Amino acid sequence: MNEGLLKGIGVLVTRSKDQADDMIQKAEDMGAIVYHIPAIAILPLPEPAGFREAMERIRTYDALIFTSPNGAEIFSGHIQAAGLSPSILPGAVCVGPKTAAEWEKVGGRTKKIPERFSGSEIADLLGADLTGKSYLILRPEVVKFELGSILAERGAGVDEVVLYRTVGNRDGGPILRELLDRQAIGVVTFTSPSSVHGIVDLLSGVKSIRSILCVCIGPTTARAAKEAGFVNVHHPDDYTVEGMLKMLPSVFSEGTKGGS
């Protein structure tokens, strides 16, 4: 990232606390004034429904499917607690390289990563005819893209285990309102639909944030932002934090020309 490209621009980072450090550092390296207000918190489920049954038939799956680094991290904790080694499990289809890295860190194997990092791209990567295939999807409680239904429609056997839920973070509301009142924020960033919903809920009806330039990690999150009323919404072709930061200077310089 080039230094100074975001000099003096207030950037709101809404990622959860455990995932935000890298994004904050890179934005600050570009000269941004970063305000970190997590929109959501991740709550792992201590005993995910269907986990034991899935482990009993784990060797029957053609692949595991992870849609986030959180899922890979939480699942690895469960299987190690169950006395299983990630190295003996089926290979995983991971939504992106960071999810793959989280799974491989504990000894898991990655089979495939889509070129563009989204649930719909996972479906396209696996193919149109999945007759005879079987997958285990490890996911959050609420999803925007019904990957399991799509794979089942294409003939696959699909099991899903919900590993965690996301909840809104109420603590940052007064700080965020104060930042909006003094117009300190030039760009709002979102890395998931949950973060969009979390910020909207956090503000309890305050609408001024919706007119601020909004940069999302990909089309699913951008769609959630538009549905929430944000009017100047952008996302990179590369569905990563790096892609978001790379495009920020150019879209900010366009001012209020409107989103894509």
Could you tell me if 218 and 192 are in contact, meaning their C-beta atoms sit under 8 angstroms apart? Answer: no
Q: Answer with the residue of higher pLDDT: 102 or 254.
A: 102
pLDDT number for residue 256: 42
3-state secondary structure of 157: strand
Task: Write out pLDDT tens, residues 171-191.
Answer: 888 999 999 999 999 999 999
Task: Write out pLDDT tens, residues 123-153.
Answer: 999 999 999 999 999 999 987 678 999 999 9
Mean pLDDT of 51-57: 95
Is this model's pTM higher than 0.95 or not?
A: no
Least confident among 33-37, 50-54, 95-99, 117-121 = 117-121
Q: Reading across the β-sheet that carries 92-94, which strands appear in turn?
A: 40-44, 157-168, 134-140, 63-66, 92-94, 110-112
